[in-house]
Structure 1
Amino acid sequence: MALDRRGFLRGAVGLTAAGALAGAGFTADAAERPSILTRADVQDWMSALADTTPLQRLTIPGTHDSCARIGGPWVACQDTVVDDQLAAGIRFLDVRCRAVDDAFAIHHGAFYQQLMFGDVLNSCRAFLRAHPSETVLMRVKQEYSEVPAAEFRRIFDIYLDGKGYRPLFRLDGDPPALGNARGRVVLLADSDGMPGVRYGDPQLFDIQDDYMAEPFAKWPKVAAQFRKAATEPGKLYVNYVSTAALLPPRSNADRLNPQVKDLLTGSEGHGWSGLGIVPMDFPNAFGLAETLIGHNPATA
């Protein structure tokens, strides 16, 4: 019987945070659409895009379970810290928070990642201060705790006002144009009652996240979502390449990530743009951030 990794994570005995705390699709030939990736340094790739570009028309490389590095092969989804992800061009972070007293501990299932929410925010703030042309989209959801939504919001507000992070965030409910998001974290709130863009709102989002499909079955869904985003623009597409089925995340990523690269650099996909948010496990080995960055609209 296949191992359900989500069930494994829920049942595992991990470190407790309390103990550790105190319009139309763009299909022109690539030769007709200049790539925005004109320099090896991808830290400022959004600087090449017009302020008027809606977030819905971007291709945004991201990481799934962005902070999950501790807990063994069935738990780890990434091999780099947030600072290094941002420096490599990642602009979507998937942040999982366990509510502990008046703080958020970062978890993957039962496994505390030796990281607090403030650590993630400090990384984003330092990066955006150094690279004010950029924005970071951040999904925030509750993980390994079951406090009511109002309590989760109360703790989040402590970070905003008690700890001084409100200026870091853009908390409006609509996806902004890039110019209105530069230098800030756009909150994609995956909890009721939170400020920010409501993650998963079907009026705003089109999400592919079949996390229990093994790679052979997952790949057609990934490819179909890319095609849909390229040809039916309007919503903010999210296309999770990651999957938790059968094998550890690294094994699944090693099967799926090369197929993404082949599609986007091949004859069908090389001219696509506006592919939305693409969260991945272990994207570094295949240079997927750089590949995805090249599928943005023409330069400003």
Structure 2
Amino acid sequence: MNQPTDATRFARIRGRLEAISISPGPAAWAFEFLLFGFKQGWACLFGGLMLALLLATHLFYPSGAYLHRYDFLTLAALFIQAAMLGFRLESWDEAKVIFAFHLIGTIMELFKTHAGSWIYPEASLLHVGPVPLFSGFMYAAVGSYIARIWRIFDFRFLHYPPVWATMLLAGAIYVNFFAHHWLPDIRLALFAAAVLLFGRTWIIFTPWRAPRRMPLLFGFFLVALFIWFAENIGTFANAWTYPDQRHGWQMVSVAKLGSWYMLIIISFVLVSRIHNGGAKSSDQIAHLI
């Protein structure tokens, strides 16, 4: 059983749940499924709260309020972050990940809004150029989720590629997000490179007692799909708007899944550096499966 090593409140709750003894059979399968859902929900707590705020303020925030809605979202995100640290619901290492992703995301937002990829249609005081500061927290939520899920499920890997190669791929993806506006888009080549690097990689995760596994590329897709659903909620809530949504909301193009898939790879590789590369060799974990 994967023992929690941190001192957060969640670690203690998690430890008590994992220590529950249930005889093998349907009841144990159901408990493992529920425990898996509980851990997933906790890992995306920051992102889930932000998404709920986007929707709630879209539906209920007073149109004539003195404080702009976007500024309220920025202050609310800071309050959530402070509360999670204050109540020991999050570790300082996780907070550092959120800050790093906020910075990386804000840089990308500045470029993409300047290029006209999307806009923020509402006014704000807390912004950098045309980018309200709350937007960086949406990227931070992705980094926070990956960092927390890695620890909570005790990730291990089979056939993990060389760290230098993963860093090179992540760097190329990040550069292409900018460069494709004036140079040929090499996204297809980057997808192919991702398949070559991670095609043999399996992720080993432990929901409860027994380690489970799935292809890492499929795991990337599942997270990207979840973010795409969240993005549809965000654009419905008028948090940001794509050019084809200026005259009325419509679902975000499925093609955006590819962009999120690429972003997940960047996020995953960056978080892996916190875990010293994150990979144990096959012979170290062969006994798990």
Q: Which has the higher contact order (CA 8 A, sep 6+)?
A: 1
What TM-score does the superposition give when structure 1 sets the normalisation length?
A: 0.24
Name the structure where strand makes up a greater proportion of residues: 1
Q: Which has the higher helix share?
A: 2
Scaled by the length of structure 2, what TM-score is found?
0.25
**Which entry has the higher C-alpha Rg, 1 or 2?**
2
